[in-house]
Structure 1
Amino acid sequence: MNQAKNNRRQGTNKRSQRNPKQAPAEGQNGLSLRAEAARALVPILNARGSLASLDDSRVAPRDRALLREICYGVCRTLPRLEALASVLLKSSFKARDTDIQALLLVGIYQLLYLRIPAHAAVGETAGAARLLDKGWATRVLNGCLRRLQREASEMQAKVDRDPAVALLHPVWWLKALRQAWPNDWREIAIANNQAGPMTLRVNRRRTSQEAYLERLRENGIEARPCEHAPDGLTLETPCDVSALPGFAEGNVSVQDEAAQLAIELLGPALAPRPGAQVLDACSAPGGKTAHLLEAFDVSLQALDSDAERLQRVEGTLERLGLSAQLSAADAGEQDWWDGTPFDAILLDAPCSGSGVIRRHPDIKRLRRPDDIGQLAALQARLLDNLWQTLASGGTLVYATCSVLPEENSEQITAFLERTPDAEIDTPQGLAWGVESGAGRQLLPREHGHDGFFYARLKRK
């Protein structure tokens, strides 16, 4: 999902170009917040950027959480917002006015989904057009949003007749989900539309799940143990990591429950083997790398093709007091490999992200149908190449944060057919997920884990 950095400030006005870090004048915070939200959304609406590059440095510190809520919320509800915008507008905005289109979506989102006084949502959204050097749009935005105030119920009922609008997914996404999961596709879509819970992973080298749960309660933070991940705790209410006791000291990390299950599959290959040679391919941002090192005494090499993202792995390990060999290289090649076979490999492969849409709602706009085939081809190349670096008798765990069979069960079936020395080793009867070909599929659950796929393979 990485996008070019030069896209993230598309639509910036002349004043902000002269001094991009200048704080808004007193009394202008509401206007500046909405203008910045519109600027951040422009590259996403044009499918040329992502929320990963969201820059909140030009809004007042107290408004930064609201900026994120608006940007993520607009992406999460985009099909409905765009359908309503088309009803409100007599004619579409020109391509050069995508920032005004974004501002209209920001206004609609506030009126329908946020507890912001209507006069502020309307007045400050319309007024923000002046900060985009497009004062002419103030009257247009004001008229559209005031009409929505009057006719919101009728308009929503009208646009929601389209299932893609009602379920907040593009048509092709719903078709893919329905084809893959005919009995579950609607529940998957509904779960995708909810913000994911904040789940923690307790560092078992420093504390335990029970001890840290008690520590959270002592600090007024309510949490519950995860259903399947033995190191996991899910917070009742998300909070800033600075509020988590012992976070800076490495006692705990943020990681979804589904992602924590990787070590449950790798454990049998590593627990009795101190010093085992382990590869974490496609390792950034480093959550699974760190979890492996917290759980097992192994020699680990963390590989990622993106040197900048690999720095995040380094930062994560430094905070947790862990160490690994970091390599910026392509896992589809072997120029990084010294020839020593690995006892275990974790391949957390690049994928569509269809299982984590609730955490990255811009995926619904940025992905295209033909991306799935391209990603599947990349996954196959990585599997074939990394298998050659695995020791005889070694274990490879293949993982994706996808719910689509092309990237998961079908991918592993095809690999087994063309790889004579590979055999299925995924445990039967696991308490989590559902059987899916040679692997195990977790579907996103409201108030629970993300969507994830795992398959464990053994080299004969």
Structure 2
Amino acid sequence: MKISPARLAAFRILKKIELEHGLSAVLLPEAEASLSGPDKGLCHALVLGVLRHQIFLDRLIDTSAVGKKIDTDIRLILRIGLFQLKFLERVPPHAVLFESVELARFAKKHSAAGFVNAILRKTLRDDPQIAFSSDLDRLSVETSHPIPLLERWAAQYGMERAASIAHANNELPKTAFRKTPRTTGNALNELIESGDIVPSAVVANGFVSVQGNTKLAELEDAGQIYLQDEASQLVAEISASFVKRNFLDVCASPGSKTTAIAMAAPQAKGVAGDLSPKRTETLAKLLRKQGTENVAVVRYDAEQPLPFESVFDTILLDAPCSGTGTIRHNPEIRYRVKASELERFRDRQLVMLRNAADCLGENGHLVYSTCSLERTENEDVVEAFIANEKEFEVVRVEGFERFAGENETLRTFPDRDGVDGFFAAVLRRKT
């Protein structure tokens, strides 16, 4: 009996994430392209499941192997095995044990194969109980969120809300999508008639698949729909509400919001850009795939003065950020965010915001957004910008009151709204 392709692929992906700072959102599609349907599903569940429960799994390992120094490969194999035993009821325990031992041998850790077997058997037999040093430690282990991240959220939102967000981050997100210019009535009607697809309660042109319709991937490949979280769609909808003649999407790749704005404002001419040839080609490819014809692609560095006059009536700066609002979809982010990195993001975001503002036309609107839950990257950036650029103010966005944040800004949260955590502020020059 050989190792299943799903478990082998999951091991390789998790190793790249652990050692090379790989991204599950990039590595999973690459691996799944060569897997069959069942293996694709298992690989997906293993990778995201292990990442969502990593601190819990590690504490379980360390409880069962007190004082043992465990090799990275073996720890990864134990995480995969324990995740299956604890969370995947349909996987037979004997298959988990056998394939975990075979994975150890595949990794050329023959001497540790017996150790892997012993730890997994001990977990099955004894169900080891984890000891917690404090309530915060318990929350950290039970939700697999590092203590510094929880402490930062508690300082911003209170501990009860921090716990609520952490628990929500481990729930499986619904599959959300929207229409594209290539969407046909027949394709959409078939999805709705299946009973699994319902209109979004968050955005006008969005839909949600409750169970995960198998036809969605096929339709996205054809450019007839676009898979996009409702919060991301919401930022595009807010931006599009201000577009009249033209718009600029500053940090546009891969083009999720660019294409949504262009579809909502077909009368307008759009410009979208990003830093590298790879990113601008990704952007151009999505425009072609969805049949978006009213957007030009330009390459530039948003941390330098942009190559435009002050002519745009709407500008979106969806700034590079920590991504802590997308932990539901990208669980590894929770283990990587450091306070020093947030400060670096803040400094870059402020530079980009100032450069974007220079391209704003008379009576124009500048939308600043992130997919971050961190005040450092959101309110602090807007406040610093306004303190320096005193002719600007944050304006209220009509029709989006349910997402109201501080001082006319907008916020979505995974626990409250069932979508990714986004921030948006609409700026304009005072009249």
1:446 offset after TM fit, Å?
Answer: 7.2
Distance in 1, matches of 2:76 and 2:352, equals 38
Contact 2:63–2:130, Cα closer than 8 Å, also in 1: no
Number of the residue aligned with 2:231:
258
Contact in 1 for aligned 2:223/2:289 (Cα 8 Å): yes
Residue 206 and residue 39 in structure 1: after superposition, are their counterparts in 2 closer, same or farther (change >3 A)?
closer
Matched, 1:163 2:134: no
Greater helix content: 2
**Higher mean C-alpha deviation, range 53-62 or range 125-134:** 53-62
For the residues of structure 1 that align with 2:52 and 2:171, how far apart are their CA atoms? 8
In 2, distance between residues paired with 1:47 and 1:83?
Answer: 23
- The residue correspondences of 1:203-222 to structure 2 (distance < 5 A) are 203=180, 206=183, 214-218=189-193, 220=194, 222=196
Is the contact between residue 405 and residue 411 of structure 2 (CA under 8 Å) also seen in structure 1?
Answer: yes
Alignment of 1:286-325 (within 5 A): 286-296=255-265, 297-323=267-293, 324-325=295-296
TM-score by length of 1: 0.85
2:125 aligns with 150
- CA-CA distance at 1:285 after TM superposition: 1.5
Q: Secondary structure at the match of 2:31?
A: coil
The separation in 1 between residues aligned to 2:191 and 2:304, in whole angstroms, is 44
- Taking the aligned partners of 2:366 and 2:139, their CA distance within structure 1 comes to 40
The correspondence for 2:9, drawn from 31, 36, 61, is 36
Partner Cα distance (2:9, 2:279) in 1: 25
CA RMSD of aligned residues (A): 2.5
Deviation at 1:138, TM superposition (A): 0.9
Question: Any idea what SS the aligned residue of 1:383 has?
Answer: helix
> Structure 1's 342 and 164: CA in aligned 2 closer, same or farther, altered over 3 A?
same
Determine if contact 1:426/1:457 at 8 Å carries over to the other structure.
Answer: no
CA contact (8 A) 1:29 1:60 kept: no
Relative to the length of structure 2, the TM-score reads 0.90
Match of 2:23 among 50, 69, 86: 50
Query: Following TM superposition, by how much is the alpha carbon of 1:49 offset from its aligned partner in structure 2, in angstroms?
Result: 2.4
State which drifts further: 168-177 or 52-61: 52-61
Kept in 2, the 8 Å contact 1:221–1:235? The answer is no
C-alpha distance in structure 1 between counterparts of 2:285 and 2:331, whole Å: 26
Is 2:54 the counterpart of 1:85? no
What amino acid maps onto 2:237 in structure 1? Answer: E
Conserved in 2, the CA contact under 8 Å of 1:205 and 1:294? no
Q: Deviations over 1:93-112 (max 9, x none)?
A: 45xx3112111111111111
**Aligned-residue offset at 1:235:** 0.5
Q: Could you say which residue in structure 2 is the equivalent of 1:100?
A: 74
**Mapped pair 1:177 → 2:153:** yes
Distance 1:91-1:50 versus aligned 2 partners, 3 A rule: farther
Tell me, in whole angstroms, the C-alpha distance in 1 between the residues paired with 2:205 and 2:32: 35
Look up the equivalent residue of 1:136 and give its one-letter code. Answer: S
Q: Which runs of structure 2 are paired with 1:114-153 in the superposition (5 Å)?
A: 114=88, 115-152=90-127
Alignment partners' CA distance in 2, 1:313 and 1:395:
23
Q: Which moved more, 1:391-400 or 1:155-164?
A: 155-164
- Does the 8 Å CA contact 1:35/1:132 hold for their aligned counterparts? no
Q: Check whether the contact 2:323–2:372 (CA below 8 A) recurs between aligned residues.
A: yes
Secondary structure of 1:155's aligned partner: coil
Is contact 1:93–1:101 with CA below 8 Å preserved after alignment?
A: no
Structure 1 pair 350–213 and aligned structure 2 pair: CA distance change class (3 A) = same
Q: Please report how far the alpha carbon of residue 137 of structure 1 lies from its aligned counterpart in structure 2 after TM superposition.
A: 1.5
Decide whether the 8 Å contact of 2:345 with 2:377 is kept in 1: yes
1:354 aligned partner: 324
Partner of 1:284: 253
Is 1:232–2:209 an aligned residue pair?
Answer: no
Aligned residue for 2:354?
384
**8 A Cα contact 2:386 2:392, kept in partner:** yes
Amino acid at match of 1:122: L
Pair 1:193-2:170 in alignment: yes
TM superposition shift of 1:221: 5.1
Q: Give CA deviations for 1:203-246 in whole Å, capped at 9, x if unaligned.
A: 377567xx86532133x3512211120101110112455555x5
Which residue identity lines up with residue 430 of structure 1 in the other structure?
F
Structure 1 position 248, deviation (Å): 4.5
Is the partner of 1:56 in helix, strand or coil?
helix
Shift in Å, 1:436: 2.0
Structure 1: segments with no counterpart, 5+ residues? 1-26
Query: 1:366: Cα distance to partner?
Result: 2.2
Q: Summarize the Cα distance change of 1:92–1:40 in structure 2 as closer, same or farther, 3 Å threshold.
A: farther
CA 354–58 in structure 1, closer or farther in 2 if over 3 Å, else same: closer
Q: 1:116 to 1:446 in 2, by over 3 A?
A: farther
Cα distance in 1 for residues equivalent to 2:67 and 2:23: 27
CA distance in 1, matches of 2:251, 2:258: 10
Structure 2 residue 311 is the aligned partner of structure 1 residue 341: yes
Amino acid at match of 1:37: A
1:256/1:450 contact within 8 Å kept: yes
- CA separation of 1:254 and 1:414: change in aligned 2, threshold 3 A: same
What's the counterpart of residue 299 of structure 2?
Answer: 328
How far apart are 1:255 and its partner, in Å? 1.0
Q: Distance in 2 between matches of 1:212 and 1:427?
A: 33
Counterpart-to-counterpart distance in 2, 1:318 and 1:215:
25
Q: CA, structure 1 residues 241+437, in 2 after alignment: closer, same or farther (shift >3 Å)?
A: farther
Q: Mean Cα displacement is larger for which, 304-313 or 350-359? A: 304-313
CA deviation after TM superposition for structure 1 residue 251, in Å: 3.1
SS in 2 for 1:253: strand
Aligned length: 421
